[in-house]
Amino acid sequence: MIPISIPLKNEELFKLAMRHRSATEDSLRDSYERLEFFGDSVLGLVIAEYLYSHHADWDQGMMSKARSSVVQEGPLAETAQKLGLDSCLEISSSEEATGGRSRPSILCDIFEAVVGAIYIESGLEKARWFVLEQLHPYLMQISAGDVSPNDHKSRLQEVAQALWRRTPTYRVARESGMSHERRFTVQVVFDNEVMGEGSGRSKKEAEQSAAKDALDVIERAQRARQMVYEEMNERS
């Protein structure tokens, strides 16, 4: 059954948008991959048009950063989960066993596939309405001035320079998946020590994920040091 929040009537089209390649014998014809490719383009167009119309004082670079902040795995996966698409996903038992139903990359893909399906059934106007309604919180965040809320690489560089006067480096640890759905795993390194690791559908996305992981490690270490310092002060 199509969730009430999804403006689709065609059950078969919705099922196609929810069907992972692992649940098919013919992934080209029966999985969401072609729909996801199409929906990704529609999504990019809608967000680019919104930014162009609503932020006349932003240059190309600013609009590009803002679009990247919205049209990326994290926000799209979160939105898919809020819509309940994870419970509609059709995957193989082996994919299910490895956490495929909650995997951000897959959730991101099915959101884009739904956008593509809405466009195919009803056209651009309804697809635009759906995208802008569902991604409204993220659009409001960037409109308030937080243009790159997920730019963890820049934040990590600032923190590293302040703490150690050093700049992190990034290296690709692994590549996996078929050519049309590559996954990259990247490590962020300080003086040959791995501080964080992350994955994504592109090297840039994986680097942002690795930087966030490193920031989390640094934050936990700082909290631990602060707790020790406070305990020592209480004893003295």
Instruction: Over range 220-233, report the average pLDDT.
Output: 83
The pLDDT mean for the chain works out to: 90
Looking at residue 2, its pLDDT comes to: 92
pLDDT of residue 177 exceeding 80:
no
Domain end call among 119, 143, 167: 143
Do the domain assignments include residue 106?
A: yes
Contacts 24+ apart (CB under 8 A), 206-209: 206/172, 207/153, 207/170, 208/72, 208/150, 208/151, 208/152, 208/153, 209/152
pLDDT tens column, 86-119: 999 999 999 899 888 998 889 999 999 999 999 9
**Catalytic annotation present for 40:** yes
Q: Which of 86, 112, 205, 213 is catalytic?
A: 112
Number of domains in the chain: 2
Q: Which of 33, 36, 40, 205 is catalytic?
A: 40
- For 96, the domain range is 11-143
pLDDT above 90: percentage of residues in the chain: 58
**Catalytic annotation present for 112:** yes
Do the domain assignments include residue 32?
A: yes
Domain end call among 111, 143, 175: 143
Domain end call among 143, 168, 202: 143
Instruction: Over range 51-78, report the average pLDDT.
Output: 90
